[in-house]
Amino acid sequence: MGLMDKMMEFMVGRMDKHEKEAMMDQMMDKMLSDFSVEEKQKLIENMMPKMMEGVNIMEIMPKMIMQMMGGNGETGGMGDMSGMMTGASATNMPMMPKMMTTMMPECLNVMLPYVPKEKRTDFAVRMVATLMEKSGEGMSEEENKTFMNKIQKVIKEIQELVEE
């Protein structure tokens, strides 16, 4: 064990939970100030499994998202999340649409293979129906036609790939 490890063990070992949390909050900005985005991402990838051990992700994720987008995260819970997702507080959280359109496709890429194949078809049909219905809202007839043509083109390309 190195000198730094011994010093940290001594110092942190004498702190209670609240002191440790306060220290982490104070040190985070200083520790990460010269990290690039890529380095921060790598750090998160390495630390997340340790930090998430025993944590109920369904409980904490809505609170984290609320805090990242300017909400207080205090009330948290799925009620706030569902209100936010339906646009109830979209004016207070302008990042939500951008986050959703960026994260949703990646979440599907990562998680869909783990959904049992018996459930994927129903899920895909429901998702495509929602996307088609909601994406066309507020479009003119011409915009809607262009949108539908783009979707049909993608479907045709996918069908051709599957048939090869």
- How is the chain split into domains, by residue range? 9-44, 120-164
pLDDT band of residue 75 (cuts 50, 70, 90) is very low
Q: What is the pTM of this model?
A: 0.47
Residue 65, Cβ density class (10 Å: 0-12 exposed, 13-18 middle, ≥19 buried): buried
Both tokens assigned to 52: 């998430």
How do residues 7-57 score in pLDDT, each as one tens digit?
888 888 888 888 888 888 888 888 888 888 898 888 888 888 887 788 787
Question: What is the C-alpha to C-alpha distance for residues 82 and 96, in angstroms, rounded to an integer?
Answer: 12
Task: Extract the tokens encoding 125.
Answer: 């049909």
pLDDT in tens, 79-128: 444 455 545 555 556 677 777 788 888 888 888 888 898 999 999 999 99
